Structure 1
Amino acid sequence: MPCLRSLRCVRKLWSPAQTSRLLKVAKLHRSVTKPHHEKVMADNKPWALISEVGEQGYLEEVADIIKRHFNIICLKDFLQNPQFHGPKVQALLVWNCCPEAEPSLLGSLPSLKVVANGGVGIDHLDVPYINRLGVKVTNTPGVVSNATADMAMALLLASARKVVEGHQIAINPKTTHIPQCLMGAEVTGSTLGIIGMGHIGYKVAQRSKGFDMKILYHNRSRRSVEDEQAVGATYSENMDDLLRESDFVMLVVNLTPETTGLISHRELSLMKPTATLVNVSRGRVVDQDALVTALQSGTIRAAALDVTHPEPLPRDHALLSLPNVLITPHVGTNTYTTTRKMVQRMVENAVAAVKGLPVPDEVKL
């Protein structure tokens, strides 16, 4: 700064006290101009509409990732004055399906350039409609695969070995002995049928190989011979054959019109009476009424579900009272590491769209 350069010239002429006062003036000048500079930088950032920061939205630490690149406004604040805020918003960041990208909201965002979704599934977004508005849609493939595959195996193991039942017995104040009837199903050496061998399905196969499981898979298209050999997987062109042979059936498909109700009465009747159905895809992939009947009648042994429809289920839903069902509240991606990666990818996609650059994870139907 000029005032600091001047110090070097006058330091020999001035007393130490005078020099000290000049230094204080220079520091004060920097402290005054820095907030102004930061405010200018903040004003230059584009605006993004989000659900909220807190329990029902983004964790504070991941919200900071968004704030580095966007000014953010939460939906509650936006709705108080959409006419004022709407023209500023260029990115809609959707987390856990919120904010809902419905026509009434999209219509109030004339400058919108991108709807960036956190997660792979985009069944809650009307992509063709959004695209017709001239708005791009993005998701976050890849970064969710490991955490979701971990959760899939956790559900399989917990159901097979009755982990939750064992925990309840262990903490029950009335427990005086450990019952020997708490018998589970063998995982090692069993047959796993994976329906949907995309990123996540393949990660499940990699993990199940460690349990010496025989791996069958059904997919829209067969994977390469190299992929199959790497995990020891066998392709089942007919899904019915996979259902008949598997001890565990794992659903890892995207929700589409073709996969809605994919598993219903007929499919469940093909499964072994000792088999377990594991679902980490979407609740509507399974006909839940048919599943209740199959579990009650002993058509299959058990079900382990990270997804249902709706979420959460009504508190009086039959699935919640069945002893052979394990349900978790759609937490397949809920780790700090994966959540940060998801938000970072959302932001990268949104920034690219706002700047008119190629978008890494644009969804094109």
Structure 2
Amino acid sequence: MASPKPNILVTRRLPETIEARMATLFETHVNEGDVTLTGDDIVEGLDGKDVLVCSITDRIDAELIARLPKSVRLIAQFGNGVDNIDIEAAWAAGLTVTNTPSVLTEDTADMAMMLMLALPRRLVEGTQMLVRDGVWAGWSPTSMLGHRLRGKALGIVGMGRIGTAVAQRAKAFGLNIHYFSRNRRPPGVEDPLEATYWHDLDAMIEAVDIISLHTPHTRETFHILSADRLKRMRPGSFVVNVSRPELVDEAAMLHEIECGHLSGAALDVFENRNGIDARLLALAEANKVVLTAHMASATLEARIEMGETVIVNIRAFMDGHQPPHRVLPESRHGRPSPA
């Protein structure tokens, strides 16, 4: 007799094609309301289930992990980041955790490049001037003057898949590529980009016009762009972040923009656990900051690939194999690279 299908709880709505595929392979229970579930909701919903399919909006901390039904054996994250999951607690409880890396590279790099263009070319400001005011005085030689990117120095923090994809795009726009990473990239990566490697992040920060962050959030990278490093940045430079809000000391960054040291920031991620900082919103209103709603991976193609990766992880695990995208605690695979 064939074994019963794995029983899974999916905490958020996924693309229709993914939900339909999951329904054919698993006993699938989806949060139809598509709102963030409470810890109690998750624990109750997992009664008798084998797998939790969660996302970045679900807080899977040690306290919740301790309450999970004994039937649960796998936490399959729909997403690359696992900041919301206590990996150490899951490991101690004998749970396997997986994520969906690699599928977001191109879309995230596109978003970083768009933000890199939007701020110096005053794209949002120019749009709002027309839409909000409804009146345009017409073209003039001094109207809406921004700054060109060609010839500027871009400093990439984290030259992994996404950082390299950003560098490739930026090179095409004529930027000079600099990067900081724990390990230097091979000549096959560096040479086509004419990229300059820096082993000292502080030194690189002082030498570039734009800092773009592409490193995961770990103990080592928390506030990697610290108050001190923000002060070290060139006057008039700016920050691009499509990675994790925890990488930047947000309060310090806001101060450096408010006092005029930095020209601004372009952010797809920012601290919003207790609502968006009023100072950040004020700077956005003043067109010193461009904000987007965590959209870097928001393409249908990416979300479908993420769903397919979740399915592969679940099937491999339930078939008794090591899932291809298992996430281990830092102590189990050494200290992660800061970039």
TM-score normalised by length of structure 2:
0.87
Conserved 8 A contact 1:268-1:299: no
2:83 corresponds, among 120, 123, 126, to 123
Secondary structure at the counterpart of residue 260 of structure 1: coil
Q: Is 1:236 aligned with 2:198? A: yes
1:174 counterpart residue number: 135
Q: Percent identity?
A: 30
Amino acid at match of 1:59: P
2:51 counterpart residue number: 91
1:49 counterpart residue number: 9
Deviation at 1:60, TM superposition (A): 3.1
1:107 counterpart residue number: 67
Q: Is 1:257 aligned with 2:213? A: no
Pair 1:176–1:126, CA change in 2 (3 A): same
Deviation at 1:206, TM superposition (A): 1.2
Amino acid at match of 1:70: F
Deviation at 1:99, TM superposition (A): 6.3
Pair 1:81–1:345, CA change in 2 (3 A): closer
Determine the C-alpha separation between the residues in 1 that align with 2:279 and 2:196.
36
Determine the C-alpha separation between the residues in 2 that align with 1:124 and 1:340.
21
1:63 counterpart residue number: 19
Q: Is 1:351 aligned with 2:315? A: yes
Determine the C-alpha separation between the residues in 1 that align with 2:29 and 2:95.
19
Q: Deviations over 1:46-84 (max 9, x none)?
A: 11111132xxxx23343223223222224589967966x
1:314 counterpart residue number: 275
1:289 corresponds, among 251, 267, 288, to 251
1:213 counterpart residue number: 175
Amino acid at match of 1:129: A
Pair 1:130–1:82, CA change in 2 (3 A): closer
Pair 1:81–1:158, CA change in 2 (3 A): closer
Deviation at 1:105, TM superposition (A): 5.4
Determine the C-alpha separation between the residues in 1 that align with 2:42 and 2:301.
35
2:240 corresponds, among 248, 273, 278, to 278
Pair 1:81–1:261, CA change in 2 (3 A): closer
Secondary structure at the counterpart of residue 160 of structure 1: coil
Determine the C-alpha separation between the residues in 2 that align with 1:186 and 1:109.
56
Determine the C-alpha separation between the residues in 1 that align with 2:24 and 2:32.
21
1:142 counterpart residue number: 102
Conserved 8 A contact 1:240-1:270: yes
Segments of structure 1 that go 5 or more residues without pairing to the other structure are: 1-39
Pair 1:305–1:81, CA change in 2 (3 A): closer
Amino acid at match of 1:290: A
Determine the C-alpha separation between the residues in 1 that align with 2:130 and 2:57.
37
1:338 corresponds, among 302, 314, 317, to 302
Pair 1:214–1:341, CA change in 2 (3 A): same
**Which has the higher mean CA deviation after the structures are superposed, 215-224 or 87-96?**
87-96
Conserved 8 A contact 2:150-2:173: yes
- Detail structure 1 runs of 4+ shifted over 4 Å in the superposition: 75-83
Determine the C-alpha separation between the residues in 1 that align with 2:248 and 2:64.
31
Structure showing greater radius of gyration is: 1
1:33 counterpart residue number: none
Conserved 8 A contact 1:283-1:310: no
Secondary structure at the counterpart of residue 89 of structure 1: coil
Pair 1:106–1:344, CA change in 2 (3 A): farther
Q: How many residues align?
A: 319
Secondary structure at the counterpart of residue 278 of structure 1: strand
Deviation at 1:101, TM superposition (A): 5.4
Deviation at 1:240, TM superposition (A): 1.4
RMSD after superposition: 2.4
Determine the C-alpha separation between the residues in 1 that align with 2:43 and 2:177.
52
1:222 corresponds, among 184, 204, 210, to 184
Conserved 8 A contact 1:116-1:138: yes
Pair 1:170–1:86, CA change in 2 (3 A): closer
**Which has the higher mean CA deviation after the structures are superposed, 154-163 or 229-238?**
229-238
Q: RCO higher in 1 or 2 (8 Å CA, sep ≥ 6)?
A: 2
Conserved 8 A contact 1:113-1:353: no
Determine the C-alpha separation between the residues in 2 that align with 1:123 and 1:276.
25
Pair 1:315–1:178, CA change in 2 (3 A): farther
Determine the C-alpha separation between the residues in 2 that align with 1:194 and 1:241.
13
Secondary structure at the counterpart of residue 115 of structure 1: strand
Conserved 8 A contact 1:86-1:110: no
Deviation at 1:208, TM superposition (A): 1.0
Deviation at 1:159, TM superposition (A): 0.9
**Which has the higher mean CA deviation after the structures are superposed, 214-223 or 59-68?**
59-68
